[in-house]
């Protein structure tokens, strides 16, 4: 009977292909690399450029074009003939001017209105300049600036936060209405149709 060699080398070189341990082989490098491929583009966060609102320059009034072409024909004729417009015509000019200003800047400041008034006076000095007996009063366009400012304030009235706050507080539930004020001390009659005669008086007296 031949003798078998049980040396460690023969055990190391034995074929274990049929052993159950052969099924637990390490995963192939190709499959591992395939699973660790580049991340999907769908999971990456999308970057979008936010929309920025264009801000109005604080020096917009230097490029403001005065709408002389929108003036009524009678006012245009007086301006070209160096005549001063009447009070009603001057208010019409202010109304048109402020309407054009608010389309560009909803909250114009005094310095904006003052510069626009100065340009108006430089264009038609005999029609808009402030003077008394041929003497220029102040800058010559102070009254025009005040009229522009008053018109802007009147149009903005009722849209301020203070007004809205007062309106909301006055309409809140459970709040008593403030008492109405009455004029007591003044000259002339303050009550033309009293409901009953005063004490000590009758309808005949």
Residues 6+ apart with CB under 8 A from 110: 145, 149
**pLDDT value, residue 42:** 46
For Cα atoms 112, 83, 62, give the angle at the middle one, nearest 5 degrees: 20
Quick one: average pLDDT of 126-149? 91
The model's confidence at residue 32, banded by pLDDT at 50, 70 and 90, is: very low
The chain-wide mean pLDDT, for the chain, equals: 72
CA 91 remoteness from chain centre: 27
**pLDDT value, residue 121:** 93
pLDDT in tens, 159-182: 554 555 555 555 555 555 665 655
The model's confidence at residue 148, banded by pLDDT at 50, 70 and 90, is: very high
Assign 169 to helix, strand or coil: helix
| Cα distance between residue 153 and residue 160, in whole Å | 10
Other beta carbons less than 10 A from residue 121's beta carbon: 20
**pLDDT value, residue 106:** 87
What pTM value is reported for the model?
A: 0.51
Other beta carbons less than 10 A from residue 101's beta carbon: 22
Rg, C-alpha atoms of the chain:
45
**pLDDT value, residue 50:** 46
């Amino acid at each position: 009977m031949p003798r078998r060699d049980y040396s460690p080398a023969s055990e190391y070189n034995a074929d274990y292909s049929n052993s159950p341990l052969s099924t637990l082989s390490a995963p192939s490098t190709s499959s591992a690399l395939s699973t660790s491929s580049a991340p999907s583009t769908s999971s990456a966060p999308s970057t979008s450029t936010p929309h920025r609102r264009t801000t109005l320059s604080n020096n917009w009034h230097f490029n403001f074009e005065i709408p002389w072409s929108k003036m009524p024909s009678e006012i245009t004729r007086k301006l070209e003939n160096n005549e001063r417009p009447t009070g009603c015509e001057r208010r019409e000019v202010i109304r048109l001017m402020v309407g054009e200003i608010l389309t560009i800047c909803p909250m114009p400041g005094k310095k904006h209105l003052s510069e626009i008034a100065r340009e108006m006076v430089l264009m038609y000095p005999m029609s808009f300049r402030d003077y008394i007996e041929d003497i220029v009063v102040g800058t010559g366009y102070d009254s025009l600036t005040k009229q522009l400012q008053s018109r802007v304030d009147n149009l903005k009235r009722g849209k301020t936060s203070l007004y809205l706050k007062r309106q909301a507080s006055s309409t809140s539930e459970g709040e008593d209405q403030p008492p109405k004020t009455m004029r007591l001390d003044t000259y002339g009659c303050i009550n033309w149709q009293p409901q009953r005669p005063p004490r000590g008086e009758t309808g005949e007296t």
